[in-house]
Structure 1
Amino acid sequence: NGAARWCRDALMNFAVAAHSVQERVHAPGLGSVSFFAGRRAPHADFHLLQHLYLQQLWPAFATSSLFAGRVLPRCRLVGTSAHEGPMALMALEAPLDARLPLSSVLWTILFWACTGNRTVLPDAFGSATFKHMLLELGLLPDVAMARQDSGRLARFAAIFPETRRMASEIEEFADIEEALRCGYRYFGAGGFFGEKRRGLAEFSIAAKITTALCPAADGTLRVGHAGKLGDFSEGSWADFSEEKHGGTARAKFIVPAEVDRDEMFARLLGYARAGDALHDAATAAAAAGVGAAP
């Protein structure tokens, strides 16, 4: 009975979400939603059934699932990058990040060179910080699309005002509606389409690779660790207060058990604060008519 009930609920959630997207986003030409799926899929058969249905429903269906791409014919693959890339390079090349997380920019450039996919997923150590590093290096005009995955949609849009944007932190259709109002035209969603067990939302867990191993020529392993901070759900990391926000922010902080959690949090918070402070100052100056927009 439990399995049947879950299957019924999952199929209903999926059908409602899929048709809402088709009728209210795709059909009127407001934007493009891709199926970011795979890692949280509860069952392989259900996962493939979703793909078969969406292939018929959405005119330009695309998925991030390599599994579905191999199993099903005519399954167009789509994707950006993942947090694990810059996190792994941060873990192995810590000296690059003495002042700012430059390793994340280096990884992004390597990713661009290898794939031709010039998207950015900038929120691991603060999106504003990442944006300002790109700006200082003259790389911001080369960004094809910026993907929002945490924090506030409107703030991310203000950080990347001239760049095409994708929203991928989609929990319900209201998130898509808000993103459309903020000027987003591209979306990536997975759990929203019925993959999550909505009755157990408090147990939805995100896992990231936070430890990297690099074998040396002599056979030894070099071990490094990284964390993931994300953008601040309350707005600007420059306004972060340990008393007001510490509990919630630390609960979402992803870090390996082998490192000093407080030290890692403080280091990444310092990165994010620096960029958010720059963004806030530029925004205030532009509002006062004494500077350019951020």
Structure 2
Amino acid sequence: MEAEAIKVERARTGAQTNQGRRWKKYMKFRYIYLLTLPGFFYFLLFKVVPMGGLIIAFQNYSPSLGILQSQWVGLENFIDLFTYDHFYKMLRNTLVINLFNLCFFFPLPIVISLMLNELRHEWFKRLNQSILYMPHFMSWVVVASLTFFLLSQDIGIINKYIAQMGGETRSFLTNPDYFWGLLTAQNIWKDVGWGTIIFLAATAGVDPQLYEAVEMDGAGRWRKIWHVTLPAIRSTIVILLVLRLGHMADVGFEQLLLMINPLVNEVADVFDTYAFTQGVQRGQISVGVTVGLFKGLIGLILVVMANKIVKRMGHEGIY
């Protein structure tokens, strides 16, 4: 009995000691914890708490009745979505637009960051970075207006040049064959410079001694990029690729809303436009929430699958 009492007393003393150490640690970093509080409350109020509204996807929601008194319909909203006549067309358009961005937009910030990293004159490097960053801060309204003035069949600069050269003008903005490429080109022009920030930060962290070592072995500039820079930023590329796959069901709604017209509906109708027309214009809020939840589940599944694949390939995943 005495031995058991001694063990209990030691366990209690050890727990008090650990608690005291934790408290000292908290007090030591108390100002850092205070700095994190605004971010914590931001995510709590605007990211976590609103997730409770996802139950609207399982209701026939009425704003006058509220969430608690609206009629429960189970999976009826999801069944209506999956049996919608244009569901597979929306799925195709959403995936194709994102595949275009994944294949053509995603690699470009990597290439540009590698090119900027090779510039020796710091002022010239900063000048190019500033020029590349500027389109990111433009509204999609401005981008759409510039696109109209460039490609419009009536007043577009490109079509005017084609007409002056004796060619036949083309309807770039109303031709479904050009629409997916046009959206991708807009994304590249607007955000490719902004996407280089993370990759430039990753390349800045490469140990200079590695470059010196390969230079002593006679490696040129391309060899240094291939054997030093790219392996050093590989983990960053993989993580951003996995996160990008989580947005495969998302399409820039503002961009699409500004560029869509009746002649390209066949290739422009996506889940975001369907949620807007049903949830906002027609007041079927449950349908809009259902689409959002469906898109979130697709993104979650793709992220989990991609993370498992990259881990099996020997890379570090996102968790």
**Coarse TM-score class (shorter-chain normalised):** under 0.3
Relative CO higher for 1 or 2, CA cutoff 8 Å, sep ≥ 6? 2
- Relative to total residues, which structure has the larger strand share, 1 or 2? 1
- TM-score with structure 1 setting the length: 0.23
- TM-score with structure 2 setting the length: 0.21
- Relative to total residues, which structure has the larger helix share, 1 or 2? 2
